[in-house]
Structure 1
Amino acid sequence: MAKSSSATASGSKKRRSKSGALTHEKVKSLGQELLSSRAHLNHAPALLALLTPSTPLSIALEALISLQSFFEPLLPSIPSASAAAAAAEGESGDPDLVFGAWLRQRFDEFVAALIELSVSPHSDDAIREVALDAFMDFVKLGKDGRFHSAIYHKFLHAVVHATDSIDPLLELLGSKYSKYADVCYFTYTSLDKITNSLGSQITGSGKDGLQNGDDSSEDRSVICICNIYNVLVHIPALDFQKESTFDMWSTVGISLKGEKNSSEGSSATHINKKLKVKFTKAWLAFLKLPLPLDVYKEVLATIHQNVIPSMPNPAILCDFLTRSYDIGGVISVMALSGLFILMTQHNLEYPKFYDKLYALLTPAVFMAKHRSVFLQLLDACLKSSYVSAHLAASFAKRLSRLALSAPPAGALIIIALIHNLLRRHPSINFLVHWEAPQDDTTGEASLPKKVGADPFNNEETDPTKSGAMCSSLWEIDTLRHHYTPAVSRFVASLENDLTIRAKTTEMKITDFSSGSYATVFRDEV
C-alpha cells in the first residue's frame, strides 16, 4: 500500500498532463468506481489533478463532487497530521496506518484544491461557489461537529495573501456565512493572528528589506492590508446588542479548550461577550498596521458606524482617533465623527479638541468630499455647553471670514452656522450690530478707536486669543450683495433678534450641507 501511494503521488503529474483528454463521462466513471470500492483508490489522485481553475467547468465539477462524496464518510477515520506523519516516518506495515496516512495526504490536497478554486480569480463563478460550500462543509464536519478552525485559518491566510481581486469570494462568504456566529468568531480570531504576523513582517522588512529598496515586499504588504480590510468589511459584526440567540454553522458552535462545549449551554450573553472580544482584537490589530491612504480614509469615514457600536469599550480607539485628528487636513476632518462619539458618549477627554476643530476651518473644507458630515458635526460640537462666549465668538468670526472665499453653497452653510451660534449665545449678538464707539470722558473706549481696523487675528491658532470679541461680522454684511440671490436673501435671517429664543428656531445644517456649484446651477436653471 505504501508503494502504491507513492506511485500514485508521482504519477499524478502524468495524469495532470493527460487530464485535458478526459471526457465528462470518463471522469464520472472514475468517480463512481472510487466510491464503489477501495480497489479503485488510485482514482483519487487522478480526480484531484482535475481540480484547477483551468479545467473545463463540467469536468471540474464532476471531480469535485465525487471527491467530496468520497471524503465525507471517511472524515472520522482520517488521522491528524501529526499522527499521519508519525506513521509515515515509522514505515509501519500496518495496512490501516498506511491507509490513514495516505488518506490524510489526499484530504490535505483536496482542501488545498478547494481553497485554490475559491480564491483564484480565474475560477468560474459556479465552481467557486461549489468549492466554497464543500470547503465549509468540511469546516463543519471535520472535527466531530466542532468548527475546524485549523483549515479555516489556512483558507483565510490564502485570502489575505491573494494578489488578485477577492471580491467575488468575499461576496459569497459574506452573504452565505457571515450570519453564523461561529464563522464570525473564528474569522476574527484568524484575522487577529494573520494581522499580527503581517505587522511583525512589515516591521522587520522596514528595518532591513524596505530600506534596501525591496519594493515588491512593500507592495505585497499593501495588498495584504487591503485584503484584511475587505474581509473585515464583508464579515461585519453581528448585531451584538439585539441578538438573543445566535445561529451556528457547526454542530457544537463556539467551543474552546477548557470550556464545556455547548450550543445549548453557552448563553447568548456569553457568546455576545466572546464575539465582542474577538471583534475588538481583530480591529485593533488591523488599525496598528501602516494603512494605505485610501484605506485609512475609508476606515475613518465608517468607523463610527461599523466599529464603535460593536466594541465593549470603544474608548480603546482613542489613541488611533486622536492621532488621526492631530494629522490635520482631510484626515482630521474624517476622524471627527469617531472622536465626537467617544467624547459625547464614552467620556473621552481631549483638551485641545476645539483648538484643532478651529484650525480645520479653512476654505478647502467647503470643497472636501466629506464636507456634509463634517459641517453637521461642527454644528453639533458647537452646541456643547463647554463652548464659552469667547470661543463661540471666535468660531463665528472665523466662519465669517471664510464667507469671503467660500462658494455660494458654502456661504449658505456659514450663515446657518452663525445663526445657530448667535441663538445659542445671546451675549455675542453685538457682533451683528457693531457701532463705532465714541470716546468717553476718560478718553478711552471699550473697542478700537480706528474705524475700519479689524482687531480679529485670523492667523491666531488659539481661538480664545483671536480678538473676536472686539470685532464684528462685517464679512457677512458683504454677502448682502452676493451674486447668488439665495445667499443675499438668506443674510436677512441674521437681522432677527435671535436673543428671543421663543420666537426663533435653529437652522438645520443638513438642509444646506450637501450644496455645491452643481446644485446652485440646477436651481437657477
Structure 2
Amino acid sequence: MASLPSKKPRKEKSSTKSPKKRDEKGNNKPQTLDEVRKLGNDLLSSRAHLNNLPDLLSFISPSPHSLEFAVEAMISLQSFFVPLLSEMKSTGDDQDPETVFKSWLKERFNEFMRSLVQEAVSSETDETLKEIVLEAFMDIIKLGKNGSFQYDFYRNLIKSIASCSLQIHSASPIDDLLNLLQSKIFKYADVRYFTYTSMEKIVKSIDTKETETKMPTSDSEEQLKFRNEIAIRNAYSVLSSLPPLDLGPEPNFEMWSENGISSKETKMSTKPSTSVITKKLKLKFTKAWLSFLKVPLPLDLYKEVLATLYQNVIPFMSNPAILCDFLTRSYDIGGVISVMALSGLFILMTQHGLEYPKFYEKLYALLTPSVFLAKHRAVFFQLLDSCLKSSYLPAYLAASFAKKLSRLALSVPPSGALIIIALTHNLLRRHPSINFLEAEEEKKDADSGEVNESIDDAKETDCKPRKHKKRPGIDPFNNDETDPVKSNAMRSSLWEIDSLRHHYSPAVSRFVASLENDLTIRRRIKQVPLAFYRTTPISLFSESDFPGWAFQSQPDENKIENGIEMINNAEEIDQTNVKRPRLES
C-alpha cells in the first residue's frame, strides 16, 4: 500500500469553503482549501508555525467538514510527523526546553493518531475518506520505530472497532472498515499476529468487574448487558474477518512492517523461519479464540460459531483438544445446539483422540422430528452416517438407531423419509448382525403359500434371528426411551420401512423398493470363492515346496472312513471315472 504523498506548497486556488468557525482563542478558522494548504506549508517550513497543528487536527476529527479539507489536513500532518517519529522520545530533565518540546509534540502526535482512529470507525465518515485515513494510519504503523510494528497504536484501532458501537448505535457500523482491512491489511502475517494479540486482551476485558467500573453509574444492568453483547458481536466480526492461516508445506508469509513480527512483546534479533512464524500465529490464534469462547455468547451468535467452528477454527489451532470442554458442554445442552456442536466434537473424537463415553447416547437423543427441519440438517445427517459407520459399533446400538430412524419416517416430510431410508439401508449393509430386523418384514403370511427365503438366508449368515415369541401386532420397541440400551430395538423389526412402500409420495415408495431389492440380492449370496486356480489342484503341496519328494497320489472322495482319507497309488486313481492328470515320478 503506497503512503500518502508528501506535502508540497501549492499556488492554485479553490473556491471550496468551510462554515465560518472560531477556535478556542476566538480566531477565525480557515474557510477555503487554500487557507488549509497554507497552514500545512507554514507548518512544514518552520517551527514558528507549530500553532497550526491544532487547527489542522480539527479538520480530521469526525465533523461535517468537506472531504477535501480533511484530506489536505491529513497529508500535511502526516508529512510533518513521520520524519520526527524517531525524535519524539523525551529524555533528560523535564525542565529542559527540548524535552518539554518533545513531550508536547508527542501529545499532538497521539492526538493525531486518535483522530485517525475516530475518523476510521465513525459511521459518518465518507467511505473514500475512510480508506485514505486507514492508509495513513497503517503507513505510520509501518514507518515508526525503525521499521518495527507499532503495536500500541494498532491495538487502539482494534479496540475502537470492538467497542465503537458503545457510542454509535447502528446496525453494522464497522462493516465498511472491516472490509477495507480484510482486502488490504489482514493478508499480512504480522498484522494478523498483532490482531490476534489485541483480540485476546480485548475479549478478556468484556463482562468483567473492570469493565463495569468504567461504565457510568447511571447505566442499568440491562444497558450494560446490551453494550457487552455489542462488543462480543464486534469481536466475532473481527476474528471471522481474518483470513485462514496458510498451513501448506511452503507457506508464503508477507509482512507489512520491515521487521515483521517484532515489537515490545516479541523481541527478535533475526527474522524467524516460516515454521516459527506458523507456530507463533497458531498460538496467538488459539489464545484469541479461547478467550472469545469463554464469554457468554448470544444464542444466535452461539449457533453461528458452532456451525463454522469445525471448518474455520479447529484446523488452525495449536492444540484442538483444548476445545473439548466447550464442545462437550455445548453438546450436553441438547436441541439444535447439540446438533451444531456435533461437527466439532466428531472431529475431536476421530482425529484428536477425545473420549466421550456418552456420545452415542446423546446422539440417539437428538433424533427427533425437529431435527429434520433444522437449518444445518444436511451436515448433521452426514455426520450421523459417519458416526454409525464403524464396524466396532455394538449390534444393540446399530439396531436402536435403525429402529429410531424408521419410526421417525412415519412423521417426517418426504425429503426426511428419503434420508431415513438411505441411512437405514447403510446400517443394514454395514452391520449384518441386525439384518434380522429387515428380514422379518419380508416374511409372508402362512396362508399365502409363499416360501420365506429371506429368513432362511438370514439364518445362514452370521446374524442371529430372534428366539423369543412375540405377540402379533405388538412392537416392543420403546420410542420414548432416550437410552438406546433400554429401547428393546433388538426385539423389534423395521415394519415402518416396509410401510413406506405404500407412501403417498412416489419418490419415497420407489426409493424404498429399490433399496429392498438391493438388500435381497446381497442376502442370497451365500458364499464367495476363497481362491482361484487355472487348473484343478491334485495335491496339497507342490513338489517345489519339498525338494526330493514326489506327491503322486490324490484323494478319492468316495473312500473316506472315520475322517481318515484313504490314499491310493497312481495306478488305482487312473482306473477311476474321474479324469485327472497324473504326476510323473
Q: Same fold (TM over 0.5)?
A: yes
1:230 to 222, 226, 237: 237
Report 1:70-469 matches (<5 A): 70-79=80-89, 90=94, 92=95, 94-163=96-165, 164=168, 165-201=173-209, 213-255=220-262, 261-262=268-269, 265-434=271-440, 435=443, 446-469=467-490
Is 1:34 matched up with 2:36?
no
Alignment CA distance shift 1:363-1:425 (3 Å): same
Would you say the 8 A contact 2:418–2:511 is kept in 1? yes
Would you say the 8 A contact 1:383–1:424 is kept in 2? yes
State how far apart, in whole Å, the 2-side matches of 1:311 and 1:502 are. 47
Q: Spell out, residue by residue over 1:335-381, the C-alpha distance to the aligned partner (whole angstroms, 9 max, x if none).
A: 01101111111011111001011000000011100001111111111
Q: Partner residue of 2:460?
A: none
Alignment CA distance shift 1:185-1:403 (3 Å): same
State the AA in 2 paired with 1:196. K
- For residue 115 of structure 1, report the CA deviation from its aligned partner: 0.2
Classify the secondary structure of the residue corresponding to 1:393. helix
State how far apart, in whole Å, the 1-side matches of 2:26 and 2:228 are. 33
State the AA in 1 paired with 2:233. C
Q: Partner residue of 2:57?
A: 48
Alignment CA distance shift 1:278-1:17 (3 Å): farther
Would you say the 8 A contact 2:500–2:508 is kept in 1? yes
Classify the secondary structure of the residue corresponding to 2:405. helix
Is 1:59 matched up with 2:80?
no
Q: Spell out, residue by residue over 1:443-480, the C-alpha distance to the aligned partner (whole angstroms, 9 max, x if none).
A: xx823431000000011111122111111111112212
Relative contact order, higher structure (CA 8 A, sep 6+): 1
Would you say the 8 A contact 1:429–1:499 is kept in 2? no
- For residue 102 of structure 1, report the CA deviation from its aligned partner: 1.6
State how far apart, in whole Å, the 1-side matches of 2:352 and 2:271 are. 33
- For residue 204 of structure 1, report the CA deviation from its aligned partner: 6.4
Unaligned runs of 5+ in 2: 1-20, 447-465, 526-585
Alignment CA distance shift 1:453-1:275 (3 Å): same
Classify the secondary structure of the residue corresponding to 2:98. helix
State how far apart, in whole Å, the 2-side matches of 1:337 and 1:398 are. 21
Is 1:490 matched up with 2:492?
no
State how far apart, in whole Å, the 2-side matches of 1:429 and 1:497 are. 13
Is 1:68 matched up with 2:78?
yes
State the AA in 2 paired with 1:388. P
TM-score (norm 2): 0.77
Would you say the 8 A contact 1:33–1:40 is kept in 2? yes
Would you say the 8 A contact 1:118–1:128 is kept in 2? yes
Q: Partner residue of 2:530?
A: none
- For residue 265 of structure 1, report the CA deviation from its aligned partner: 3.2
Alignment CA distance shift 1:14-1:154 (3 Å): same
Would you say the 8 A contact 2:391–2:430 is kept in 1? no
Alignment CA distance shift 1:290-1:265 (3 Å): same
Alignment CA distance shift 1:348-1:17 (3 Å): farther
Q: Spell out, residue by residue over 1:85-136, the C-alpha distance to the aligned partner (whole angstroms, 9 max, x if none).
A: x96xx4x2x3322221121111011000000011111100111111111111
Classify the secondary structure of the residue corresponding to 1:161. helix
Alignment CA distance shift 1:437-1:280 (3 Å): farther
Q: More displaced, 239-248 or 164-173?
A: 239-248
- For residue 256 of structure 1, report the CA deviation from its aligned partner: 5.3
Alignment CA distance shift 1:170-1:415 (3 Å): same
State how far apart, in whole Å, the 2-side matches of 1:12 and 1:446 are. 99
Classify the secondary structure of the residue corresponding to 2:363. helix
Would you say the 8 A contact 2:187–2:243 is kept in 1? no
Classify the secondary structure of the residue corresponding to 2:206. helix
- For residue 259 of structure 1, report the CA deviation from its aligned partner: 6.5
Alignment CA distance shift 1:503-1:23 (3 Å): farther
Would you say the 8 A contact 1:12–1:49 is kept in 2? no
Alignment CA distance shift 1:464-1:15 (3 Å): farther
- For residue 260 of structure 1, report the CA deviation from its aligned partner: 5.6
Unaligned runs of 5+ in 1: 1-10, 439-444, 505-525
Alignment CA distance shift 1:158-1:381 (3 Å): same
State how far apart, in whole Å, the 2-side matches of 1:448 and 1:436 are. 17
State how far apart, in whole Å, the 2-side matches of 1:323 and 1:276 are. 24
- For residue 195 of structure 1, report the CA deviation from its aligned partner: 1.1
Aligned residues: 475
Would you say the 8 A contact 1:52–1:117 is kept in 2? yes
- For residue 190 of structure 1, report the CA deviation from its aligned partner: 1.0
State how far apart, in whole Å, the 1-side matches of 2:72 and 2:251 are. 41
Classify the secondary structure of the residue corresponding to 2:519. coil
Q: Spell out, residue by residue over 1:8-60, the C-alpha distance to the aligned partner (whole angstroms, 9 max, x if none).
A: xxx994389965x6211211221122112212111111000111332211111
Aligned-residue Cα RMSD (Å) equals: 2.7
- For residue 246 of structure 1, report the CA deviation from its aligned partner: 1.6
